[in-house]
Chains A and B, each alone.
Chain A
Amino acid sequence: MLPVLRLGPFTIPVAPLTWLAAFFVLQEVGDRAAKRLKLPDGVFSGALLWTLGIGAVAARLGYAARYLEAYLADPLQIITLNFGTLDLVTGAILGAAAGIAYLQRKKVSLPLFADALAPALAIALVVTSFGNLLTGDAFGVPAPNLPWAIFLWGEMRHPVQVYELVIYLAIFWFVWTRAPRPFEGAHFLITIALLAGARVLLEPLRGDSVAWLMGVRMAQGTALVVMTVALVLFALAYQRAQWVSKLRA
C-alpha cells in the first residue's frame, strides 16, 4: 500500500494526488464530451471552474459558520489551505448554484451540460478507485478462500477497489459508445442510475460500511434512493419526449 509518497524531506499523501488526477481526467473527458454535444468552446471547463471555485469558498464559509467561536478567536484561519476544514454540503449546494447561473448566462441548457458531465464522472471514478487500490482505502470484507482475494490490512480480502474500477470503466464505455439518448439529460440519468446501482450491488462486499437506520448500510441506502430518483426521472422524461414527438408528427 502507498498512503504517502516521500520526496526528500516532503511527505505527500497519495489520496489528494488521486483526487487531482481524477479532476484532470474529468475536465479532459468532459471537454471532449462537450464537443460531441456541440456545446460552445470552453463552457464545460468554465462551468466546472465556477462550480468548484464558488463551492470551495462556500464550503469554507459554511465550516466557519459551524465553528464560529473558533474562527472568531483566529479569523485568519479562514484563508488557510486546509482541505479538512470544508463543509461539503454547503459547498455542493452553492457550487452547483454558481455552475447553473454560469450556464444560464452562457445560454446552455443544464441537461446538455449534464450529458457532457456523465462520461467524465464515470471515468473520474475509475481514477479514484485506482487511488483507493494504492492507498488501501475502501477495502473489502475478508475472503480467505477467494482465489482472487488480495492481502490487505492483515487478511485476504475481496478486491472491491478492482471490482469498482472495472464496473466504472464499463459504465464509461457504455455511456460513451452505446447508451441511447432519447432526450437531453438522458446520458446523465443513465450514468447516475448505473453508478448508484453499482454501489447498491457492491456495498455488501465493502469492509468499511457504516450502519444507518435498522442496520441498513449508509452508502447502500443512499445509493438506492439516488438510483430510484434517477430511474423515475428517466421514465418520466422519456414518456414526455415520446409524447412531444407524437404531437409533432
Chain B
Amino acid sequence: MVLSVGKRWNDGCLTQMKAPTLKTSPAALPFFQGARLFIIFALVIAFGAAWTWFNRLPEIIATPTLAQPHTGFAAPNFALSSTTAETFTLADLKGKVVLVNFWAAWCPSCRAEMPAIDAAYRANKDVGFVVLAVDQMESAEMVKTFGTKYNLSFPLLLDSDGAINRQYLVSALPTSFFIDRRGVIRDMIIGGSMSREFVEGKIKALLEEKE
C-alpha cells in the first residue's frame, strides 16, 4: 500500500503540516523490479564517476587573487616596518606558514591572546611558522613597551596610518589570518581570544602540507 502524502503543503506553511503515519510498502516501486533497479543504479554511479573524472582540477592551478582578503584567495601583499626598524614583506614569506594578527594594545582580547600566540610561535618557529602582529595605529613607543611587557618574541609591525588594516577590511580586533605555504588564506578568525591549542591546531595541518 502506497501512502499518498501529496497534500502536505495544502496551506504552504510548515507549522500547519498534518502528520499522517508513513508506512512501508515493499511494492512501492513497481518500475524498479528485479535487475532493473541494479542496472539503473549502476548507470547513475557510472555517470557520477565519469562526471567526477572529467571535472578534475588541473595540476597547476593559479591561486586567485583579490584586493581584499578572503579564505581560498591569495593574501594581499604588504610591507611594514617592525619596532626594531626591520621591514617585513608578506610575499617574501612564501614557503612558510604565516599568522597575520591585527591587534592593538588597548584591546583586552588582543592582550589576552598574545601570550598564547607567542607560545605557539616559540614552539613552531623552527619548522616554518611565522607570526606578523600588525598593530593598529599606535605609537612605536607604546607597541615596543607592550612587546617588552609581554615578552613577545615575534615581530610587532607598525601600521601607523591604518592602510593595511583597511586593506584587510579589519572590522574588529583582534582579527587573524592563517596563511599557508603558497600564500593562500586558509582561515580567518574575527574576534578573540585564541588559545595556544587553537593556534597550534590551525597551523599543524598547514605545516604538514607541501608548498
Contact = CB atoms under 8 A, between A and B. Distances in A.
Interface of A: 3-4, 6, 11, 13, 28-29, 32, 35-38, 63-64, 66-67, 70-71, 73-74, 77, 80, 82, 84-85, 115, 136-137, 139, 153-154, 173, 176-178, 180-184, 186-187, 197, 200-201, 203-204, 207-209, 211, 214-217, 220-221, 224, 227-228, 231-232, 234-235, 238-239, 241-242, 244-245
A3 B56 contact: no
B201 interface: yes
Contacts of B51: 200-201, 204
Contact of A180 (B2, B17, B195, B196): B2
A231 B200 contact: no
B57 to A, nearest CB: 5
A150 to B, nearest CB: 15
A187 B28 CA distance: 12
A244 B70 contact: no
A217 B57 contact: yes
A11 B191 contact: yes
Q: Which bucket holds chain B's interface residue count?
A: 35 or more
A177 B56 CA distance: 36
Interface of B: 2-3, 5-6, 8-9, 14, 17, 19-29, 32-33, 37-38, 41, 44-45, 48-49, 51-53, 55-59, 61, 64, 66-68, 70-73, 119-120, 171-172, 189-191, 194-198, 200-202, 204
Contacts of B53: 216
Given A37-B22, A217-B56, A84 B201 contact: yes
Could you tell me the dominant secondary structure of chain B's interface residues? loop
A131 B76 CA distance: 25
Contacts of A4: 171-172, 190
A13 B176 CA distance: 14
Given A13-B190, A32-B19, A154-B66, A224 B198 contact: no
Given A63-B201, A203-B55, A244-B26, A38 B41 contact: no
A38 B21 contact: yes
Nearest to B18: A36
Contacts of A73: 119, 196
A227 B45 contact: yes
The listed residue with most A CB atoms (<10 A of its CB), out of B51, B59, B194, B198, is B198
